[in-house]
Amino acid sequence: MHLDQFPKTSLGFFPTPLVELHRLSQALGGPKIFMKRDDLTGLALGGNKTRKLEYILADALKQGCDTIITAGAAQSNHCRQTAAAAAKLNLECHLLLGGEAPQQAQGNLLLDQLFACHIHWTGTNRKGQDIPRIYAQLQTEGKSPYVVPYGGSNELGAVAFIEAVAELQQQNKEAEFSHVIFASSSGGTHAGLILGKKIYKQTFELIGINIDKEANSGLPFEQQITQLVNSTATLIGLDYAFSLDKLVLNSDYIGDGYGVVGQAEKEAIALTAKYEGILLDPVYTARAMSGLIHHIRSGKLTKDDKVLFWHTGGAPALFAYADDLDFLP
């Protein structure tokens, strides 16, 4: 199994830092907490999608495509990084964003516009349901389009996070982490971490915090992740069958749904900023961090544990959620 069989283009700054959150751990009275700073990947204010796009857009270039299509919510971190990567690689970019055009662009949407991409507003269809129509339209215009899946979550996106586990292993050569906690939303990061754990013989418990009530396809999200693990294993030539019963996807922190900021997310943002000077985003990492905090307070994580929080990025969305962050003085 050699990941270098897959083409890759350089889009970010790696390895991303691995840091210990001394003050947050002390404030929570919990275990040692570390953070993998994929919010510092360097592309368009960073985020975990940069890893995936290095492989996915290399495949687009290999196929001779000149136009990129992807989809997401209006404040999609994935779309923002895809637009930036397309700009860097001189590829035309079309974003299909859920909702309606706001009067004023903020957060990720403002950055999308700076990267000179084409934005198509798709109402309730925020997960790419309208991509076939745009794809066909671009073909009639003589373009050679390439579809980047929702969240960059296909086999190539998962390969990027197999590589990320190897990166983590090189950075952490002391006692292994007992738990790795992260936001799980479109499945690619989760699938890659599962395979990375297997390949590099890691023993940590991998806990995905579910972010969204809605699945990305017709399948339940748990089945979607499981299928992606196995199809990626097949792609890389790994003799491994992952079963649904081994998946840890915690859906206890979804609250009122995707993108709805509750008290738990507000507290996670406030505590991480106050004690570590690190920004979480309101949709993904704040929800995942709220799960970590609850695990500590409920005794599921103890002082004997060594926990890694994988920061997947997204801070630009904070500015678009200013009205919801009413904990500020």
Question: How far, in Å, CA of 43 to CA of 40, rounded?
Answer: 8
In order of 11, 215, 279, the CA distances from 35 in angstroms are 22, 27, 12
Q: What are phi and psi of 65, to 5 degrees?
A: -75, 150
In order of 1, 11, 160, 174, 260, the CA distances from 163 in angstroms are 12, 15, 5, 19, 32
Question: How far, in Å, CA of 131 to CA of 164, rounded?
Answer: 29
Residue type, 180: V
Backbone CA torsion sign across 40, 46, 48, 54: negative
Residues designated as active site: 76
Whether the Cβ atoms of residue 209 and residue 182 lie closer than 8 Å to each other:
yes
